[in-house]
Amino acid sequence: MKNVSFYAPGAKFYENEYHKNNREKFKSISISGNNCILNCPHCGGQMLKNMINAETPQRLSDICDNLISEGCEGILLSGGCNKAASVDLMPFCDVISKISKKIKIAVHCGFATNDTLLGLKNSGVSTVFFDVIGSAQTIKSILGINADVNDYAEKLLYMKKIGLECSPHIIIGLDYGKIKGEYA
């Protein structure tokens, strides 16, 4: 039997009888600042507003060194998407490789290319957060990309093939609250 883990975003504070997060132990960093070229209805760039900006590899390295010295245990590395719904992480892979030896790195990569996924694997990231969308219509209308459910399944299979730890995000109701394909 496999364990299922659930995570609360570090940008928000949660406290209930089951969980209390410490926002200082896990920080969210954007490699695109507040910029998102895709600017899709999924978040309209809103998720980037609470993230630390690190728009260059050197800035990312400096920020992580500072966070580590303050007791941070992990980071979410993400950013705004390009027109293909992917976060442009390849220019950061060398510095990610150095940082991953000192701190846990989770990456939200969007609909990344296989080259990017392999680069992340080789960089030593702990896990990749990957959105799973259950409807081709939702993929087209919300993200505006020419992909379908099978393309997403192929990305998951590729990550498994190369041994890249993946934490799928099953996005229920992405199409303005309508459930389309999430049960499949």
- Residue pair 103/64 in contact by the 8 Å Cβ criterion: yes
- Return mean pLDDT, the chain: 91
Amino acid identity at 10: G
Domains of the chain: 26-170 (3.20.20.70)
Residue corresponding to tokens 């190369």: 162
Give the pLDDT band (50/70/90) at residue 87: very high
pLDDT at 12 over 70: no
The whole-number average pLDDT for the span 104-116 is 97
Q: What is the pTM of this model?
A: 0.89
**Which tokens is 145 given?**
């990309």
Distance in angstroms (rounded) separating the CA atoms of residues 44 and 14: 23
